[in-house]
Structure formats: structure tokens, C-alpha cells
Structure 1
Amino acid sequence: MKQSLIEQLNEWHEKEKHQQIVDLLVAIPEEELDYEGVSLLARAYNNLGLYEEALDQLENIAEAGKEDYLWHYRVGFTLYHLKRYEEATQAFRRSDQLESGDQSTEYFLRRSIQKVEKQKREELRLAKKRASLEHGSAEEKVPLSDMSLTDFWDDSEYSRKSYQSDPPTDELIISIEKELGYKLPSSYIQLMRQQNGGVPKYTNFPTEEPTSWAEDHIAISGILGIGREKSYSLCGDLGSPFMIEEWGYPDIGVVICDCPSAGHDVVMLDYRACGRDGEPEVVHVDQEDDYEITFLADNFEEFIRGLVSDEEYDTSEEDKKRDLDKVAYSKFSPLLEELCSPVTEVEQIEHKIRSICTQIVEEKGHFSFHADPLSYVMYDVQLWLYTKSYQDTSRDQYVAAYQNIIAFGGEFSQGGYAPSFVTDWLDHRIKEGRIIQKHGILRLTDSFAEEIIKQLKEA
């Protein structure tokens, strides 16, 4: 391919004009499209979320790409998003062997290994559940028979307006089950006969694995009722079919609870092991983590009984004190130390970073970056530091490296982060013109760099 065409494609890539890249490259006769062209076409398909199409293109150049670390990386990236984690792990391992030290490769290799382990645990659990169902039915008992429901619901105007409907009739239950294509659990129906949808007083459920919400629990906003009229009812305008069809949640059952993230995670009844007429498990599905499924309870009644008060996890004062000590005294990550070492524009750069992070903890009560002004300052500072040391940094490289600066930086770290906050900040700064992408490389304007230096000096 001509260098001028490659530059044009890279410029479109920077501006996220991925469909234009596809349209141009697929118009070129197949016999005239070289290795570079096919590789860039696969990249564009990946960026459009068309992973099967990307994989087809990459397989077409497999022989030529077997010693190219970037080809293996793109294959791994594609397989990762197709949830073929074992194959993705192999591809990222080979990419790392050919070009060690690439932070994006290391990140996805680590994540792929974690996903493989979780996938195996999930498959084993489902297999055991199916086997137990084949070898006999569970003992029949009256659902929620020994559970007092008089103090279960939170009686609020919001709950009545958004969730609560009249008790469901038998005809309505049959109609909703037919529309959903699943038999609803008897314990859920029993609860809905007592109150048809609403916000429970206890809204937290403990987990053994971390999610985007917390390390050890998830939270729900409410339980969807049986009906169509209320937005937060099973077949309402924000109900189960909407979340599956419009938000892309997996078609494994029924969305039963919404969560405080406003659609970015939900609780579902999972019918994969029991079939459409069986007793479903309850799982958490995390859209922020590529619709990651985390097991919660063996059935709906167990889930209801397991809900606990948010006071169980209210450690705000202890968390604030711990995080103030952390940002004041804990050791920087190796990468953050490396990035601070050559800085001459700001005296005592480490102290300035700790000062800004202390303000963040004082303001929020904990050490985390979101979409507020102080968080944006720290996003800016981290990119300024990183691009001083690594001048030829692409967007993908930085997003992958970001977690190793502070987010998962060891002692001086937040222990996690939401990637969308980082990419939203980056998009915002690019739109403002403070950060420029040129030939795939991120660069801060001189005036923006001066602004960051001034903020650090004043910290």
C-alpha cells in the first residue's frame, strides 16, 4: 500500500472514522490488498465491534503474520472480545514473546488468564447444577414460608411511582411468562403477590468475586414487578426485553433487578442450567466488564434472603482515614516513580501529587478518580508525566498503561478504576484541542502542558 494511503487510514483511525476505513479497503480488489491493508481492515472491524469479520481478515494473513507481534496482539484482542479466552491467552503470550514489554499486551494477557479461570469455574458450576437436576428434583416447599415480609419493602414515593403495580392476576402472570419465554420462579411470584415490585430496605448482596461496583458485594436499586405499565417492571419500557435487546445483555433469562449504575449492571435470573421452565439461578451481569457474569445465588429465594443493609458495608470513616494515610505515606508504583524521576519543571513532584490526591480523599471520602474537576487534574497529570517519558504513545497504549501508574499501582493505588471515565476524559480533552492525536500519537499542546505545570506548582 502507498504510504500516503496508510497515513490517511491512520488519520481516520485517530478520528474514529472506522467505517470509512472499512468502506475504502473493502472496495480495493482482494488481490491488490497487501498484508498492511488487511491488518488495518481487521483493526477497523475490531473498533466497530465486528469481531468475527476482524478474525476472518486476520486468518487470511496468518502465514505472513506468524512472526509479527502486532498480528498476534490483534488476534488476541479479537478472540478476547469473542470470549474465546484460552485462545486469546495463547495469542497474547506469543505477542509478548515476540515483543516483550508492551503494556497493552501484558494487560490483556493478564485479563485473559483471569477470564479463563473464571470461565472454567462457571462451566464446572453449571455442569454440577445440570447433573443435580438430572438426578432428582428438589424437595417441594412453600416459597418464603418462614420469612417475614412485613418489613421487607421501603415505602417511598419513588418506589410507588417507578416500580410498584397492583398485585398480579394469574392471567397477567401467564401473559408475562409467555412474552418473556420463561417460567417465573414461584418464590418471585409469591413476593410479587405481597407487593408487585419496589425497593427493598436491604439492597446489598455479598459476592465472592469483585465487580465494577465493589470488591465484595453488589447493590440493587429495586426489584422489577410483574407487568408492563411501570418503567421498572418486567415488560415495561425499561424492563427485561429492553435491557437485552437495546443494551445488549446476554439472552440467558430475565432481568429481575436494576442497579445504581443506571443500566451498566443488572441482576438476572439465569436459566442456562435449568431450562426455560426450571428454577433459575441468580447472577450479576456487568456491562462495564464486557457483560461479565458473576454467580450470586442458587435461586431467587436464596437471593432475597441474602440481601443485607448497606450499613454492612458502611466503613466510610475508616476508609477515609485509611486512604488519607495511603496518599500521604505509601510507596509509589515503580512506573509512577519512573515517570516522576526526570521531572525538572516542578519541584517535589511527588509531594504535589500527594497533595492533590489528599484533596480528592477529603472531598470524596475515598481515593478514586471519576468525572469531577480534581480527578481531571490527576488524569491530566498522569498523561503529562507518561508522555514526557514515552513520547511515541498511542491512545491504546496509554489506556493500557494507565492502570499501572496509580489505579493498580501497588501501595499508592485505588485498587481499581472504571475505564470509561479515563476514555471519556481523553475524548473530552481531544475535543477541547488540549490533547492532539497525530499519526496515532498523543501529544499535549504546549499551553496545556504549561497549565498542568502551574496547577502542580500551586498544589
Structure 2
Amino acid sequence: MIFKDFDLSNFWEDSEYALQEYVGQAPSDELIANIEEELGFKLPASYIELMKLHNGGIPKNTCFPTSENTSWADDHIAITAILSIGREKPYSLCGELGSQFMIDDWGYPDTGVYICDCPSAGHDMVMLDYSKCGKDGEPEVVHVDQESDYKKTFLAKDFETFIRGLVSEDIYDTSAQDLIDTLESFKTGRFSDTLQQYFKKETAINFDSVLRNLFTELSKEKGYFALHGDPLSYLAYDVQFYLLTLNKEIKSKAAFVKAYLPMVAMGNNEISTGGYADFFKDWFDERVGNKQIVQTAGNFEFSEDYKNQFFEQVRKYE
């Protein structure tokens, strides 16, 4: 008996989005046969049984443990949803964003049926892999990583084992340890080569210490390290802008944006946000609009009044 002693009554998370994009009507035997013919593979009995009970959707447990690292994590993969049998829903096997779409438009290997999409929005998928069993056999379940030349990672010997092996994402919540590691990096981690050069131009204030202490307070407040539109982030933008003006001519907003990125956002360093949003551009516009940043001889810099306020603020973090 398929799914014996496995509680499917609490398996699905039927949100409005799931019902709209994924969940289809229970498939008839005729529809199943048509879909199999179109795909060129016989679907596993366990997959068909699950879809007859609830045709696709978002499960409550969305992670599956792995014995090797993937593009998603070192020890697991995550799925967004399970595709339904049909053509009606966008995320159905033969829907506009279904299995065949991933093969035709994304170049995924044509060795099986793609049954789960992932949070990467197309850059990895879960597939029923018929490479070993043939088109009418019992396929393994594998993770296919588009970012690593479509590398396959074995997940389960069959679909039922895969479903039984799904676990809650809460198991892999590492936010508490991540924060501890981040705070430790502020004590001993290395800033980018660019920032370390910029620090040398200002001897009255130790901006190395200022940024370490500022980032520590900001991360404790947020629970993670990121620069947004809050007051502490704005002060971090102030510090970086001031250091820039000591070392470079900033003649335009575009020049500021280009010079900003190597410092913390995308620097070759241990202390980095690892990316950026446009909050720092909004900061620049706001400072210019408030005449806290002015142009002198064609270069952008802090006004004398704001520079005094800025020094008063940053000295609290030395």
C-alpha cells in the first residue's frame, strides 16, 4: 500500500497563491494517460496517487536533506511546490511553466519529469530521473542544479521516499548562529583593501573601530547584517561617503555609486553585506536635497554644518 501509515491530511499548505498557481482538479485516468504520452514517461504510481488526493501545491515541509552540498545549502535542498498533473495551472507538468518548459526554455536535461520548482526561480529543480530505469520504470528523485552545469544530486530512490523525507525548514534555521558568527567577524574580520586604504587618510578618528562598532550595534538591532533605510544604515552610508571624499573626487551620483560598491557592499573582504539594495542611492538624494551634501568646485562633499554633526555622531562609536 502506497503511503501506508503516513498522514497526508496535514501535508499541504493551501494558501491563496498555492490554489491559484499550483493546485489543479483531481486528474482523470484519461488526463494522466495524455500527460504521460506528452511527456514521454510513465509517472510513478505514488505520484499519481498523491495527485489524485490533492493535485499539486505547496507542502508544509519544503526541505529535503542531502549528503553533499548544492547551490542551495551544504546539507539540504528546498522546494517551492510540487507540480500538478495537467495543463491548466501555470505550474503543472504540461503548463506554461511546467516540466517541458524547463527543458525547452531553460535547457534542463530531457531525462525525466521535473516535478518540483525551487526558491531560486528556475535555477534548480527536482526531477523524476529515468536515466537508469527507462521511460516505463520507477524513477529516482534527483536535484538538478542549472548553476552547476545541470549537476544531479541524488535525493531518494523513489517518489514516495522523497515525500516521506521532506522536513520543515525550521530544522535548518541558522539565524541565531549566523548572527553570532557575524558579530565575531566584526571583531576580527578584515575590511576590503579599498576601505583599509581609505582609513589611512583620516587620523583624527579611527574609522576602522567606528565601522566595527556601528555594524555591531546595527546587526544586534536587526538580527542580521544589512544596510537599509534606517538611521544606523544612514550613518554607515555617511561614514563611507566621508571616506570617499577624502580619497576620491565625487563629481556625480553615478561616480558615488560606482565608488561605493567596493567598500562594504561588494568588497573582497570578510566584512561585507554581500550585496546591496538602492537605499544608499536614496540616502544620497536625501542628503543632497537637505543640503547636507553640497557641490564645491564640482565635487560632492558634506556641508560644514553637517560635517560637524557627522563627527559628533561617529565619535560615539570609536
Query: Partner letter of residue 278 of structure 1?
Result: G
* SS in structure 1 of the partner of residue 122 of structure 2: coil
CA deviations over 1:181-213 (Å, ceiling 9, x no partner): 111111111111111111111111122223333
**Within 5 Å, which residues of 2 pair with 1:289-328?**
289-320=148-179, 322-328=180-186
Structure 2 residue 196 is the aligned partner of structure 1 residue 340: yes
Change over 3 Å in CA distance of 1:339–1:227 after alignment to 2: same
Residue 27 (structure 2) aligns with: 168
Residue 366 (structure 1) aligns with: 224
* Equivalent residue in structure 1 for 2:188, among 330, 338, 360: 330
Query: Partner letter of residue 268 of structure 2?
Result: I
Following TM superposition, by how much is the alpha carbon of 1:344 offset from its aligned partner in structure 2, in angstroms? Answer: 2.0
Query: Partner letter of residue 405 of structure 1?
Result: N
Change over 3 Å in CA distance of 1:364–1:302 after alignment to 2: farther
* SS in structure 2 of the partner of residue 366 of structure 1: coil
Following TM superposition, by how much is the alpha carbon of 1:232 offset from its aligned partner in structure 2, in angstroms? Answer: 1.2
Structure 2 residue 65 is the aligned partner of structure 1 residue 206: yes
* Aligned counterparts of 2:272 and 2:30: Cα–Cα separation in 1: 54
Residue 85 (structure 2) aligns with: 226
Unaligned runs of 5+ in 1: 1-141, 389-397, 429-445
Following TM superposition, by how much is the alpha carbon of 1:413 offset from its aligned partner in structure 2, in angstroms? Answer: 7.3
**Within 5 Å, which residues of 2 pair with 1:406-421?**
406=269, 409=270
TM-score (norm 2): 0.68
* Aligned counterparts of 2:226 and 2:103: Cα–Cα separation in 1: 31
Residue 6 (structure 2) aligns with: 147
Do the aligned partners of 1:185 and 1:300 also contact (CA within 8 Å) in 2? yes
Following TM superposition, by how much is the alpha carbon of 1:317 offset from its aligned partner in structure 2, in angstroms? Answer: 3.5
Query: Partner letter of residue 219 of structure 1?
Result: A
Following TM superposition, by how much is the alpha carbon of 1:234 offset from its aligned partner in structure 2, in angstroms? Answer: 0.7
Unaligned runs of 5+ in 2: 248-260, 282-297
Residue 257 (structure 2) aligns with: none
* Aligned counterparts of 1:315 and 1:168: Cα–Cα separation in 2: 39
Query: Partner letter of residue 366 of structure 1?
Result: Y
Query: Partner letter of residue 159 of structure 1?
Result: A
Following TM superposition, by how much is the alpha carbon of 1:158 offset from its aligned partner in structure 2, in angstroms? Answer: 2.0
Mean CA deviation greater in 229-238 or 311-320: 311-320
CA deviations over 1:54-92 (Å, ceiling 9, x no partner): xxxxxxxxxxxxxxxxxxxxxxxxxxxxxxxxxxxxxxx
Do the aligned partners of 1:211 and 1:218 also contact (CA within 8 Å) in 2? yes
Residue 288 (structure 2) aligns with: none
Do the aligned partners of 2:199 and 2:208 also contact (CA within 8 Å) in 1? no
Mean CA deviation greater in 358-367 or 176-185: 358-367
* Aligned counterparts of 1:360 and 1:248: Cα–Cα separation in 2: 43
* Aligned counterparts of 2:68 and 2:299: Cα–Cα separation in 1: 44
* Aligned counterparts of 1:213 and 1:205: Cα–Cα separation in 2: 11
Indicate the RMSD between aligned Cα atoms, in angstroms.
Answer: 3.8
Q: Is the helix fraction higher in 1 or 2?
A: 1
* Aligned counterparts of 1:232 and 1:252: Cα–Cα separation in 2: 19
Larger RCO: 1 or 2 (CA < 8 Å, sep 6+) = 2
* Equivalent residue in structure 1 for 2:39, among 156, 161, 180: 180
* Aligned counterparts of 2:41 and 2:115: Cα–Cα separation in 1: 12
* Aligned counterparts of 1:154 and 1:177: Cα–Cα separation in 2: 27
Do the aligned partners of 1:340 and 1:349 also contact (CA within 8 Å) in 2? no
* Equivalent residue in structure 1 for 2:145, among 268, 279, 286: 286
Do the aligned partners of 2:199 and 2:206 also contact (CA within 8 Å) in 1? no
Aligned residues: 264
Query: Partner letter of residue 170 of structure 1?
Result: D
Mean CA deviation greater in 336-345 or 183-192: 336-345
Following TM superposition, by how much is the alpha carbon of 1:254 offset from its aligned partner in structure 2, in angstroms? Answer: 1.5
Do the aligned partners of 2:183 and 2:216 also contact (CA within 8 Å) in 1? no
